[in-house]
Structure 1
């Protein structure tokens, strides 16, 4: 049966499709649920490859509300909200919802239905405006939901009211929520900064080794793993082709193979099943051309069962291990049954490189297709710039302003550094065509539900954790515990923290392993040039936010130090004192939104950046900056790797002077240790004397607020 033509007040028959199968991708039409099913899948309704296969389970709803909400959900899936209701509610309301938003809406309704049932309210028509006010307090006070989440719940109830008025019988219509007329502010928790801005960045101690190991997989180990995987697939293909009735003497080659091993005293390929050693049917089938069923028959014979028990060995492939780690092969000879797991780790490493070194959202990465990063044109000896053409899903809208599940190609492509290009090329060697992270290739369970889909976000998140576990076990086994990946204090790495972490590191450029892996200043230039002459947004918002937070935190610390009597020196000392006071007055060291970040960065007097390598603050004024030879240009930030000692933008604090003396003492001790060659010792001592001189100059020239007042 197809859809009912008139949905008004009348639920469809139980065997009616939940939505028109013709709207689904052809390969998924068999997945369309029926109205009376206990569980609804909406997977066939979306073309987003990374959309999770979430299911609506009607057991979530108390029995008294199950059918009213089933019908309400059916109308939301199939019929748009009238324009008058969309316009009345504002930008937060869409006439048609994406699959993900439908799932959230039904989930919100389930919580509401459970709340009503606990209060012994048996019909939606019995709910009063006061009840809805109580429910908003329940979301805020009892459930402790964040403001954005609570707002999503209230919008879902507004939608239930609108659809009830149009399609539901009188007993199942919800009264108009009070926030429709009065606005939501009084019904929501206090505003707090949310979204990516409060997602904790991955700490450098974790991100550094994680990126190093991911790059090792992508740049050094990939050829070995892909070669072993090709051999693995070849053996599997041979075993598959041998299925069927066995030919006479089908075991001859296997017996000859075993007799040769026995004559030389070599181990027999073996695998484990639970705690038992068993014959590796597929491996031996591929290796000897013997059907797997025949392999098991032969290996159960007393002669070979006894020899196998006495001489068990691995299922080693012929593919070589060529890459090295610390001068030794990075991995022992590849085992047939280990290779699929290594391939998963390689794919995960590619995701980590893409996620961290581009700034793409998770859905964009998982939606990348073969050919998304074409070779750049131009002469071989010229600097080449690679671009990645990706689909964005979060803001994709069709001509009616509704969510477009197929996504739209991003107007401004992503700029790819060489490590990212390498990761794409590795994935392209696997995919052949279609999605780089195709589920049917990288997670082939339930192939009928995975056609045209990518790996799920949750699956990739779990694989990152398994990648970390493998690395730590591998490092420990090779006595390289210092290269293990420490746990992040904020919890799982996940997939959504890489964007924030990239912005954090570009803005702050911490030392250590992460800085060695990627030149952040170079990356910021790439990203900025890639978005030249286009609207700022996406990763730029995060870069602005992190840069502003960094500036605000530093200026707040300087302000507190000055209030405690500490001093400042340098040509820009007074500018730094004034900037610290201005920032403290306007922001108090806290940047909670992108709007505040842009406001701070737009004030030229607050463009203050710390250069930890040179022990100074740059009070950036591009007309005075010596780091940019063309100071009349459009440079919006200093090049901190090109600080000049005589620049008029320099200021130092007492803390910098202490750091200068500590560094001078450390270098002096190295020079006097006798453990370094004399020319190097002379250079170290010269550097130590130079740093000590800068500290003395600070002590002589420093000013304080008391000095200023005098």
Structure 2
């Protein structure tokens, strides 16, 4: 008889207050071991990237010492132990990252607060009924909110054996993942939304304009401000000389027929008594006037002097008189004249534009962009001998907290954005860091809150570049039907998020649209350059995202092919009969009628297997079967090129042509015909080849025309 082994439960022991919170391997090589367990606040700032949004765990807001001890032991354990309590339910052997500790504490505080509202002050007293009631509260907020809380409760449950003061005594939704608990079923074709092209194109156009053109205007204006400040660095002047300089400034404006620099509209609240005419505040910008006159503020004793001069001469926007480039769409300067206030604001928008260009044209994640160093840009020859522009940085997702080194192949505008940032920012270590606050002891801050900055940039360029007839960056269409059958439009600005840029780039590479980057440059060039970098390294993971988007693109295309066939569209080529028969089988199984698709969702499911063999082409599509592929016989003499070889398939059993290919078939036929018309001086054999080539195209086109007649 086999003896049954009984595992003794873990007996948790209290953690001493002087124990270091972080495991030794995370602080190895550092003089500072980080916070201790007994600290009221755990500050992880020295051990996390500067892009980390939350770096402190503050336990002072918890209700009592037992709650504090429980929260501390929970985080202490998770920093050392993996769990199987993730959202999907899959086992995760990795301990929690340091950067996840502050958000995890926030979740625990919220869970404890919900339980207190339900009358439970200790985890040990929680019942399955309490968990069900808490879930109902969280679901009323949103499914996403509930998902986060349920996942945190499951983590809290699995860490129970390591909690000495309080713990859950009932299992948290056993046998079900957090996603299953909240009823969330993720569609593998949907995740982060893609930015629509009619929104993405003008946004990137504006960002590129800022990087490539407006940046020079703004940096020139900043240098002028700095020179004016240096010119008056000698200190305060006697009151009599201050008055003389202000009078001289007013006289210069009078002689030039100009008004005084007006208070920026954004500061109009400081002068509530001042009128606003055509968007210009009727009050002097005393700070700018003192700068231009070379005197140190305050100049309040001469306020009336400036008020009287303004009443006589009027007011005008700006005041710096630095040059402004032309916005190509209007033929006019891209904005109104600059002032120190607007320069400060525009430099913030320039940083956002640089981030957008780098993120969108590289596929880097937000943290990867903002953690770039000042020496990140470099060039080196590629395998084909051509020069490649690259960025060197770090990848953090799925890596240790400090990340792993990685490289990205990028386009020229990305290097231009880096050049602008090197002039704009002055942080000695980070490209996106600049002096301007007290976030760190040295006064440098790192660009942050990018989602909010992206929305602010969207609104700003709409103010600059919109025309009376339409917004420069259109709103997202949100159309619904009212009860009376009329359409109700309630369009909203696109809700930009940092993750959308990587998603959108992957979609554009997979679908290969034209016209977004650098005017007439085809996106295929961007695909060739950027995808080369991702295909060559596993660090980013971007190649898998592009592959997923390409699979979706193929499925979209297959659905179009099916609908065209179901509507009676013609098809030709060696694979036409085979694929048409498969479409017919699917139609019978779905119960579709000609011209009608009963279940679009089921249709996509039944078409998905064809994505594995479909290779869309210019003159035909290939449904590749290697046993009968003509190109398989040609691969060896052509140096073992990868299969299939699209556009070498006019007589291949794997080729299928539809009306989608007609325009390109006609173009190819016309080009061959032009060559034949001018072939009088060619040898007879070449003329015969050209004639046969034209006849072949005529036959392919005739297969797709309704009357079946050859080309005239």
Tell me if both proteins adopt one fold, taking TM over 0.5 as the criterion.
yes
Name the counterpart of 2:513: 510
Matched, 1:51 2:52: yes
**In the alignment, which residue of structure 1 is the partner of 2:195?**
202
**Measured at CA, do residues 335 and 533 of structure 1 come closer, stay the same or move farther in structure 2, by a change above 3 Å?**
closer
Change (3 A) 1:589 1:548: farther
How far off its partner does 1:309 sit? Answer: 2.7
Aligned to 1:97: 97
Whole-angstrom distance in 2 between the partners of 1:517 and 1:697: 34
1:466 is matched with 456
Does the 8 Å CA contact 2:534/2:542 hold for their aligned counterparts?
no
| Matching residue of 2:473 | 485
Residues in 2 aligned to 1:224 and 1:574: alpha-carbon distance in whole angstroms: 63
The verdict on how the C-alpha distance between 1:119 and 1:87 changes in structure 2, with shifts beyond 3 A counting, is: closer
Q: 1:325 to 1:581 in 2, by over 3 A?
A: same
Q: Name the structure 1 match of 2:393.
A: 390
- Larger deviation: 503-512 or 121-130? 121-130
Would you say the 8 A contact 2:512–2:523 is kept in 1? yes
Kept in 2, the 8 Å contact 1:555–1:589? The answer is: no
Distance 2:539 2:582 in 1: 26
| Aligned equivalent of 1:173 | 167
**In the alignment, structure 1 residue 283 sits paired with structure 2 residue 288:** yes
Q: Which one of the candidate residues 394, 398, 403 is aligned to 1:407?
A: 403
- Larger deviation, residues 466-475 vs 186-195: 186-195
CA distance in 2, matches of 1:288, 1:396: 56
Correspondent of 2:297 among 286, 292, 297: 292
Q: Which has the higher contact order (CA 8 A, sep 6+)?
A: 1
State yes or no: 1:271 paired with 2:263.
yes
Q: Is the 8 A contact 1:269 1:279 kept in 2?
A: yes
Equivalent in 59, 69, 72 of residue 70 of structure 2: 72
Other structure's SS at 2:121 match = coil
Q: How far apart, CA to CA, are the structure 2 residues paired with 1:469 and 1:581?
A: 50
Give 1:50 shift: 1.7
Q: 1:540 to 1:467 in 2, by over 3 A?
A: same
Mapped contact 1:139–1:145 kept (Cα < 8 A): no
Distance across 2 between alignment mates of 1:235 and 1:285: 10
**Displacement of 1:193:** 3.0
- Indicate the larger mover: 562-571 or 574-583: 574-583
Residue 571 of structure 2, aligned match among 559, 565, 568? 568
Q: Residues 518 and 130 of structure 1: is their aligned pair in 2 closer, same or farther, counting only changes over 3 Å?
A: farther
Distance 1:563 1:51, change over 3 A: same
More helix by share: 1
1:254 corresponding residue in structure 2: 246
Give the alignment of 1:283-362 within 5 angstroms.
283-293=288-298, 295-301=299-305, 304-311=306-313, 312-326=315-329, 327-362=331-366
Contact map agreement 2:432 2:447 (CA 8 A) in 1 = yes
**What residue is the counterpart of 1:106 in the other structure?**
105
Distance 1:356 1:510, change over 3 A: same
Structure 2 regions of 5+ residues with no counterpart?
A: 1-11, 275-281, 479-493, 591-600, 668-695
Matched with 1:607 is 614
Over 3 Å counting, the alpha-carbon distance change for 1:529 and 1:122 in structure 2 is closer
Change (3 A) 1:529 1:235: same
Checking the alignment, whether the CA contact within 8 Å between 1:355 and 1:498 is kept in structure 2 is yes
CA contact (8 A) 1:221 1:323 kept: no
Q: Contact 1:660–1:694 (CA<8 Å) still a contact in 2?
A: no
Deviations 1:686-707 (A, max 9, x none): xxxx9999764313699xxxxx
Gaps of 5+ in 1: 1-6, 398-403, 665-689, 703-710
Report if the CA contact (8 A) 2:288-2:319 is conserved. Answer: no
Aligned to 1:3: none
Residue 500 of structure 1 and its aligned partner are, at CA, apart by: 0.8
> TM-score with structure 2 length normalisation?
0.72
Establish whether residue 164 from structure 1 lines up as the match of residue 152 from structure 2: no
Instruction: Describe how 1:185-200 pairs up with structure 2 within 5 A.
Output: 188-190=181-183, 192-193=185-186, 197-200=190-193
Deviates more, 1:497-506 or 1:188-197: 188-197
DSSP 3-state at the match of 1:485: coil
| CA offsets 1:378-404 (integer angstroms, 9 cap, x no match) | 9xx97310111111222221xxxxxx2
Kindly state the Cα deviation for residue 9 of structure 1 after the two structures are TM-superposed: 4.3
Hey, what does 1:684 align to over in structure 2? none
1:374 and 1:495, CA in 2 relative to 1: closer, same or farther beyond 3 A?
same
Matched residue of 1:391: which SS?
strand
CA separation of 1:589 and 1:344: change in aligned 2, threshold 3 A: farther
Specify the alignment match of 1:525 in structure 2. Answer: 528
Distance 1:153 1:386, change over 3 A: same
CA distance in 2, matches of 1:149, 1:692: 62
Tell me the TM-score normalised to structure 1 length.
0.72
- Specify the alignment match of 1:373 in structure 2: 377
| 1:223 lines up with 2:216 in the alignment | yes
Q: CA deviation at 1:357?
A: 1.1
